[in-house]
């Protein structure tokens, strides 16, 4: 019965979304407060209905109701409760329902909580969000309904892929989808701006918090996914330039560009058309990702349950939504008032260069992902575009962006002093060059790209400190004044500093780990050992260790360094009978910021017919920075979001005062 | 990075993690082994889902690693090994597309965007600034500015 309620509510939410569009559009035409209100009410109700449907599906998974096809295909009665719940979004159908939940949820927040927004513009936002809701809910109801019953329910489910039964991956999709779908609100704001012909500082202040929130969620989502790949797939890789990863990375890159261009539009009223374009682009790339991942047009390590027919439908949705958005842009954008003027060397100019490079980087990722398809369609030849391509194209573009990054915040708006900014960065430049040379000198084998990368990481991090020191007049004003200024720095400034420093920290980790990780593998009998880097890894014993839904061998491994004990690790090799699948539970010994990474492999026959296990050990230096950096970036986003300027009521005050925001300094 | 609902295809990927490190496959000479290992990430395991032979233990990947090691051991240069593989398996086997005229769009576009963008930005800005040449302050404006700065300083 609960399942039928879920199915019913899902259909109801589709109908309510249709009503949301109709009422809001009619209200906008008549400028009628009653219809505005009705449209907003429908948005809230649509969300409530999807929420009930979602709860019903969770209920089905928790109670292991195998008469529901989706539960039977993705759950198992012996699965731990966390993974029963996570199984809800572990399948195509369930994840689309999560997508719809986020879509209607964000729509409801705007409809019911954004009180300061001009009524006409708000009604267009609500209508646009409703229209997106109609598209995706219709898809879910008609082509991907998670509530389908089975005529003959099986006694046991097929279980979730054991690789996905992992805490990082349980929380990865909600964050990721929060990010993807968060950009839908930005998209709707862009549609509203184009229809109302109004892109100004107040509009940009509405868009900023949403793009910040979406971007931060997406950052966390991608990081969780990378961390999962790092320790679950068992070879220590964390990014493969795989189409599915690229699908999540493209909206992130465009979202990053949007964050920066929205600042220019908010503070200076400049680049309004470009900001709207990026706002449309961010959600377009999110939808493109949803299509690429689910359609099977690309082969990927993380292949989703692929279905070409659904792929066509998703492509249609993508075409309808993005086509409408960009047609509207082509028609209306030329009418937008041009923004303020600025010299090439200025804060605006630096942000334009940021946007230029990020756009080029997005195109690079897009091209690298789709080029094999294009080439095959045009010439019939198949070719591969893999990591080496991105190392040669994406990495230099980023290096260029990193080079410019610390200079931007030191330039003033409108017309900046480029030479002065560079002079203030002498310390950062000196340290960066020194670190790069030290790495080049001491780390063997010589790896020029990694050394340059380490230098750039230091340049970014020290650049952040220089920027803060400049803002608080360190060394120029009295200590009391410096303290006062430090206390008076807006949260937005701290957020920016955290994000930029996080990028630097990530760069340090990524370059160093990739260039200097050490790998060792040996078939070990009990009490034999291998060395990896400075560490000795001894296999003390192998015991059996069975879990709720798997059986496992557990290696008891002792790691020592120069005879000193470092840690006891317990890597496992698990067998899940429900999927007849074997997985490795990697053991990580955290040593400072480095990881000693241990994998227990297959059992072999060793010397003297003793059983032996293939033990692989990696030393991944500075590996933790790779995940710490992006989390700092997301934290920076959250701190910025808490800035008073970006609270929901703030834009109205700004609009009422008729003020174009005051520059930060 | 959306590994939801992974299909069984990943099974192959996982059974074979870090396959290239398997000691039973290694060459005795560490220099040659290092050269072979450096080539693995460039070569695609063609039956796998977008993986290099460095990561995969599918039978084909094992075979390809063997071929690469044999070629390296037989004294071929890296370029010779690559062209041998392309000859045998087609361009698809290389994860790094060739720098060829037909792939020009792939290799040139990223840099062309930045290059043209920068030219456009600086070029346009210069001319638009010329049009909007800020005129010098009038004496009245200058006086007002001095007054404002004085009041700010207090």
Q: Is A373 on the interface with B (CB under 8 A)?
A: no
Distance from the B92 Cα atom to the nearest Cα atom in chain A, whole angstroms: 4
Looking at the structure, tell me whether residues B86 and B19 fall in a common domain.
Answer: yes
Task: Retrieve residue A220's tokens.
Answer: 């966390």
**Chain B contact for A361 (CB, 8 A cutoff):** yes
Paired residues of A583 in beta bridges: A574
Cβ contact B18–A234 (<8 Å): yes
pLDDT at A38 over 80: yes
Specify the pLDDT at position A457: 96
Chain B stretch 61-120, residues whose beta carbon is closer than 8 A to a beta carbon of chain A: 90-97, 102-103, 105-107, 109-111, 113-114, 117-118
Is B47's Cβ below 8 Å from some Cβ in A? no
Within a domain: residue B42? Answer: yes
In the prediction, which pLDDT does A157 show? 87
- Per the structure, the count of domains in chain A is 3
Asked if A553 and A545 touch (Cβ cutoff 8 Å), the reply is yes
A353 and A374 belong to one structural domain: yes
Domain boundary among B74, B93, B112: B93
Domain count, chain B: 2
A305, A343, A389 member nearest B125 (Cβ): A343
Whether residue B71 is found in the same domain as residue B25: yes
Residue B21 has what pLDDT?
57
Let me know whether A121 and A256 are in one domain.
no
Closest CA–CA distance from residue B122 to any residue of chain A (Å): 6
**Same-domain status, B23 and B75:** yes
Selected residue with higher pLDDT from B10 and B126: B126
Same domain, B37 and B112: no
Nearest partner of A283 among A395, A170, A136, judged by Cα: A136
Residue B3 inside a domain? The answer is: no
- Tell whether B15 and B69 lie within a shared domain: yes
Considering the domain boundaries, does residue B71 fall inside one? yes
Nearest CA in chain B to A301: B49
Residues A124 and A180 in one domain: no
CB contact under 8 A, B121 and A353: yes
Q: What share of chain A in percent tops pLDDT 90?
A: 57
Residues A128 and A62 in one domain: yes
Q: What does the DSSP assignment read for B3-23?
A: -TT--THHHHHHHTTTGGG-G
pLDDT for A90 beyond 50: yes
Are A105 and A180 contained in the same domain? Answer: no
Residue B130 has pLDDT above 50, yes or no: no
- Pick from A83, A250, A384 the residue to mutate for testing the B interface (most B CBs within 10 Å): A384
Q: What is the mean pLDDT of residues B98-119?
A: 90
**pLDDT tens-digit map of A63-81:** 999 999 999 988 888 888 9
A:96-155 residues touching chain B, CB 8 A cutoff: none
The verdict on residue A540 lying in a domain is: yes
Q: Are residues B87 and B18 in the same domain?
A: yes
The pairing of strands A587-591 and A535-544 is unpaired
**Lowest-confidence pick of A303-317, A359-373, A522-536:** A303-317
Considering the domain architecture, whether residues B149 and B131 belong to the same structural domain is answered as yes
Residue where a domain stops, chosen among A620, A636, A654: A620
Domain boundary among the residues B93, B124, B140 is at B93
**Strand pairing category for A572-576 and A564-569:** unpaired
Neighbour-count burial of A583, counting CB atoms closer than 10 A to its CB (0-12 exposed, 13-18 middle, 19+ buried)? buried
Residue A124: the pLDDT is 95
Same domain, B15 and B34: yes
Q: Please give the residue range of the domain that contains residue A562.
A: 519-620
Give the tens place of pLDDT for each residue, A262-289: 999 988 888 889 999 999 999 999 999 8
ipTM: 0.83
The residue range of the domain holding B38 is 9-93
Q: Supply the angle between the helices A167-196 and A272-295 in degrees, to the nearest 10.
A: 140
B109 part of a folded domain: yes
Is there a single domain that holds both residue A290 and residue A362? yes
Tell me: do A129 and A204 sit in the same domain: no
For residue B4, being part of any structural domain is answered with no
Q: Which residue has the tokens 């074979």?
A: B16
Cβ(A616)–Cβ(A599) under 8 Å?
yes
Same domain as A120, residue A29: yes
Residues B62, B129, single domain; the answer is no
Q: Are residues A157 and A172 in the same domain?
A: no
Mark whether A129 and A196 lie in a shared domain.
Answer: no
- Shared domain for A209 and A303, answered yes or no, is yes
- The residue of chain B with its CA nearest to that of A584 is B14
Query: Are A245 and A287 within one domain?
Result: yes
Do B107 and B57 fall into the same domain? no
How many contacts (CB atoms, under 8 Å) link A and B?
210
B24 plus B83 within the same structural domain: yes
Asked if the structure places residue B2 within a domain, the reply is no
Domain boundary among B64, B93, B122: B93
Instruction: Find the Cα–Cα–Cα–Cα dihedral A195, A200, A206, A207, rounded to 10°.
Output: 80
Interface of B with A in 3-42 (CB under 8 A): 3-11, 13-15, 17-18, 21-24, 41-42
Give chain A positions within 8 Å (CB) of B117. Answer: 356, 359-360
What band does A643 get if pLDDT is binned at 50, 70 and 90? confident
> How far away is chain A from the Cα of B25, in angstroms, using its nearest Cα?
11
Q: What is the DSSP letter of A535?
A: E
Q: Is residue A478 one of the residues assigned to a domain?
A: no
Chain A CB within 8 Å of residue B132 CB = yes
In a domain, A443, yes or no: no
Q: Give A105-143 as a DSSP string.
A: HHHHHHHHH-TTS-HHHHHHHHHHHHHHHHHHHHHHHHH
List the CATH number of the domain containing B21.
1.10.8.640
Closest-CA residue of A relative to B45 is A384
Put simply, the answer to whether A584 touches B128 (Cβ < 8 Å) is no
Instruction: Assess whether pLDDT exceeds 90 at residue A326.
Output: yes
């Amino acid at each position: 019965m609960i399942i039928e309620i879920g199915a019913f509510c899902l259909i109801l939410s589709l109908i309510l979304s249709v009503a949301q569009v109709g009422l809001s559009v009619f209200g906008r035409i008549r400028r009628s407060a009653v219809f505005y209100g009705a449209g907003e009410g429908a948005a809230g109700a649509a969300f409530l209905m999807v929420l009930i449907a979602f709860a019903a599906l969770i209920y089905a998974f928790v109670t292991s109701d195998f008469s529901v096809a989706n539960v039977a295909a993705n759950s198992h009665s012996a699965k731990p409760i966390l993974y029963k719940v996570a199984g809800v979004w572990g399948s195509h159908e369930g994840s689309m329902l999560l997508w719809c939940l986020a879509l209607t949820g964000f729509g409801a927040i705007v409809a019911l909580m954004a009180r300061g927004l001009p009524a006409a513009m708000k009604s267009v936002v609500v209508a646009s969000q409703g229209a997106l809701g109609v598209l995706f809910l219709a898809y879910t109801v008609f082509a991907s309904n998670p509530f389908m019953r089975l005529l003959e329910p099986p006694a046991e489910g097929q279980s979730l892929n054991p690789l996905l039964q992992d805490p990082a991956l349980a929380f990865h999709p909600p964050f990721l989808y929060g990010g993807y779908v968060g950009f839908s609100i930005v998209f709707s704001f862009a549609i509203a701006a184009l229809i109302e012909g109004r892109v100004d500082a107040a509009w940009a202040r509405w868009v900023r918090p949403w793009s910040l929130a979406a971007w931060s969620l997406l950052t966390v989502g991608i990081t969780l996914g990378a961390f999962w790949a790092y320790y679950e797939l068992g070879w220590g890789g964390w990014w493969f330039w795989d189409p599915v990863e690229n699908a999540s990375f493209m909206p992130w890159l465009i979202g990053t560009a949007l964050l920066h261009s929205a600042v220019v539009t908010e503070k200076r009223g400049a680049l309004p058309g470009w900001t709207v374009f990026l706002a449309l682009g961010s959600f377009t790339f999110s939808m493109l990702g949803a299509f690429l991942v689910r359609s099977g047009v690309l082969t990927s390590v993380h292949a989703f349950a692929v279905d070409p027919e659904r792929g066509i439908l998703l492509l249609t949705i993508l075409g309808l939504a993005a086509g409408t958005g960009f047609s509207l842009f082509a028609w209306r954008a030329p009418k937008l008032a041009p923004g303020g003027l600025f010299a090439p060397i200025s804060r605006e100019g630096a942000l334009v260069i940021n946007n230029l490079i990020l756009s080029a980087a997005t195109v690079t990722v897009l091209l690298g992902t789709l080029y094999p398809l294009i080439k095959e369609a045009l010439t019939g030849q198949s070719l591969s575009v893999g990591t080496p391509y991105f190392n040669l194209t994406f990495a230099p573009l980023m290096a260029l962006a990193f080079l410019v990054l610390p200079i931007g915040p030191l330039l003033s708006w409108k017309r900046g002093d480029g030479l002065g900014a560079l002079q203030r960065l002498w310390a950062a430049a000196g340290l960066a060059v020194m670190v790069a040379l030290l790495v080049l000198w001491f780390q063997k084998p010589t790896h020029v790209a990694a050394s340059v990368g380490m230098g750039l990481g230091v340049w970014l991090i020290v650049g952040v400190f220089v920027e803060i020191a400049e803002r608080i007049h360190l060394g120029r004003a009295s200590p009391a004044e410096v303290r006062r200024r430090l206390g008076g720095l807006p949260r937005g400034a701290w957020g920016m500093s955290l994000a930029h420093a996080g990028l630097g920290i990530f760069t340090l980790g990524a370059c160093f780990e990739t260039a200097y990780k050490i790998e060792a593998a040996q078939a070990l009998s009990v009490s034999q050992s291998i060395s990896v880097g400075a560490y000795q890894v001894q296999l003390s014993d192998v015991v059996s260790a069975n879990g709720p839904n798997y059986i496992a061998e557990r290696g008891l491994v002792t790691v020592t360094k120069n005879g000193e004990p470092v840690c006891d690790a317990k890597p496992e090799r698990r067998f899940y009978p429900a999927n007849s699948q074997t997985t490795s539970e990697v053991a990580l010994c955290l040593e400072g910021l480095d990881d000693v990474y241990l994998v227990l492999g297959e059992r072999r026959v060793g010397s003297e017919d003793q059983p032996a296990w293939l033990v692989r050990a990696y030393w991944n230096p500075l590996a933790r920075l790779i995940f710490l950096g992006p989390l700092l970036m997301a934290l920076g986003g959250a701190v910025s979001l808490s800035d008073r300027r970006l609270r929901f009521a703030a834009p109205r005050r700004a609009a009422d005062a008729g003020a174009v925001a005051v520059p930060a300094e | 990075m959306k590994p939801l609902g992974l299909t069984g295809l990943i099974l192959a990927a996982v059974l074979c993690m870090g396959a290239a490190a398997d000691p039973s496959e290694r060459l005795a000479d560490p220099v040659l082994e290092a050269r072979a290992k450096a080539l693995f990430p460039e070569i695609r395991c063609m039956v796998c889902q977008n993986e290099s032979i460095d990561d995969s233990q599918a039978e084909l990947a094992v075979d390809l690693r063997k071929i690469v090691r044999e070629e390296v051991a037989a004294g071929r240069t890296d370029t010779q090994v690559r062209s041998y593989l392309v000859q045998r398996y087609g361009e698809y086997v290389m994860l790094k597309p060739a720098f060829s005229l037909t792939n020009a769009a792939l290799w040139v576009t990223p840099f062309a965007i930045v290059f043209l963008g920068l030219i456009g930005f600086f070029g346009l800005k210069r001319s638009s600034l010329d049009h909007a040449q800020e005129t010098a302050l009038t004496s009245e404006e200058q006086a007002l500015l001095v007054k404002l700065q004085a009041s700010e300083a207090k």
